Every structure is written in C-alpha cells, then in structure tokens.
Amino acid sequence: MRRHATGGFTLIELLVVIGIIALLIALLMPALNAARSQALTVRCQANLHDIGRAMQGYANDYGGRVPRGYYYSPFYEQGYILWAEALAGYVGHRVEVADLSIARDGVLAQEFRRIEVYQCPAFPNDESALDYVSSSWVTGTDDSPLLAVTRVKRPSEIVYLAEANANRYPEQFWEHDVWQANQLPTDGTGAKNRETARILNDERHRGQVNLLYFDGHAATKHYRELTPHDFDYGIAEANVAASPQ
C-alpha cells in the first residue's frame, strides 16, 4: 500500500531554512547599521543648522558679534559668556543663571539637557548636557571673548561649532571651546590627541564630524581632515571685547 506524504519539513530542511535566514540577516545588518548611522548624522546636522539660525539671530541683535570663549567671574563680565547660554533664547529656551562661579555649570547642565538641539542623538555619553564645542581660536594678538562675524575671512569655511569629544566633562563648560592645535582630533600626523582633544575623534558617525560654519550652514568632515585652517579666523587685530549683556 502506498504511503501518503505528511507535508511537514524534515529537521535538515528546517536547519537549511534557518541557516539561509541567518545568512540574510548577516548580509543585511551592515546596511541597516549604516542607514541608522546616517540617520543619526542627519539629525545631528539638523540640530547644528537650527543653532546656526540662532547664531545669526544673536549676531543681528548684538552688533554682529557672537560669543566664542567662556569662563567665570571676573571674565564673564568682560564678555566670556557661554555660547549655549547666550543662544538658548533663540532656540526657545531662555536660560538665566546669576551665579558666576564654577557652580553655575551644574545649573546650566540641567537646563541644557532640556534643549533638544544641544544634544547629538549619537553622543556616547548619556550624562553629557552639551554635545558641541565652539571655536575660540587665538589668531595673532586676538584673544577677545566676542567675535565679529562679519570680519571672519572665509565664513563658509571657518568652523563655529563642532561635535564634542566624548571625554569632555559633562558639567564643566569652560572646556567646551577649541583654541589651540592640541585640542583638535589629531596631532597633524593622523594620530589621535587622546588626552587633550575637545572634538570628536571616535566612530559615532563613522568618523564624520558635524560642523557649523560662520555663514550658518552645517556640513560634515572626517575628524582626521580637520586642521587649524578650519578654525583660524584670519583676523590679526582685536575684535570688540565688551560684553553685550
């Protein structure tokens, strides 16, 4: 008598199917990870674009000047105000902290964590309250706290904000600016500045750094390509140093 097939799968057939599915997943994962990384890069770049509009609004209100370096009293009264504090009102979140000692940064951190555009979605340290650093590059004798944007040579090529290194202290914002070569991601030979870098030099965006330029546009560049040329304003004489506040 002829036997009828049951229509089920044998163990070997099931193992073959599972193996094929696993192989497809392994082939697709790199593409999915790349797409996710690109999406996070675009979101981060959009944050900088919004901050760029805030920078331009602030400059319009304060004689074309923007803050570039930060420190506590008595330097704060001289114009060394934090860019993120100054621009907060232009991104819909006004921040006012009367304390001008180092303790003020803890209060600022609580406020900054509530400002979405100050947070990169791919930043590896969840405790970070401010994921970007400013350029306070010292050119010639110019070490003034406020920079006249209109006097920046090549504004479409000079960086105002860059993504921060993951090792920055979450609540010490005086380290959130870049003013000399050893704070760049590499030492010029391609080797990382592991101890002193203030700009991204990891693979959170596959090594790409989101940057905001003085003309207001945002773009990316690999961290190994960043040099002092990207930050040097090209202004030898001092800018206006008085505080706009």
The reported pLDDT for the residue numbered 34 is 65
The reported pLDDT for the residue numbered 38 is 73
The reported pLDDT for the residue numbered 70 is 94
Instruction: Please provide the average confidence, as pLDDT, over all residues in the chain.
Output: 87
Q: What is the pLDDT of residues 162-210, one digit of tens each?
A: 999 998 888 899 999 999 999 999 998 889 999 999 999 999 999 999 9
Would you say the pTM of this structure is higher than 0.75? yes
Q: For 173-177, which contacts have Cβ atoms below 8 Å and span 24 or more sequence positions?
A: 173/70, 173/82, 173/84, 173/105, 173/108, 173/130, 174/70, 174/71, 174/72, 174/105, 176/70, 176/82, 176/84, 176/130, 176/132, 176/133, 176/134, 177/68, 177/69, 177/70, 177/133, 177/134, 177/135, 177/136
pLDDT bracket for residue 143 (50, 70, 90): low
Q: What is the pLDDT of residues 69-80, one digit of tens each?
A: 999 999 999 999
Mean local confidence (pLDDT), 211-227:
96
pLDDT bracket for residue 13 (50, 70, 90): confident
Domain ranges of the chain: 11-230
pLDDT bracket for residue 150 (50, 70, 90): confident
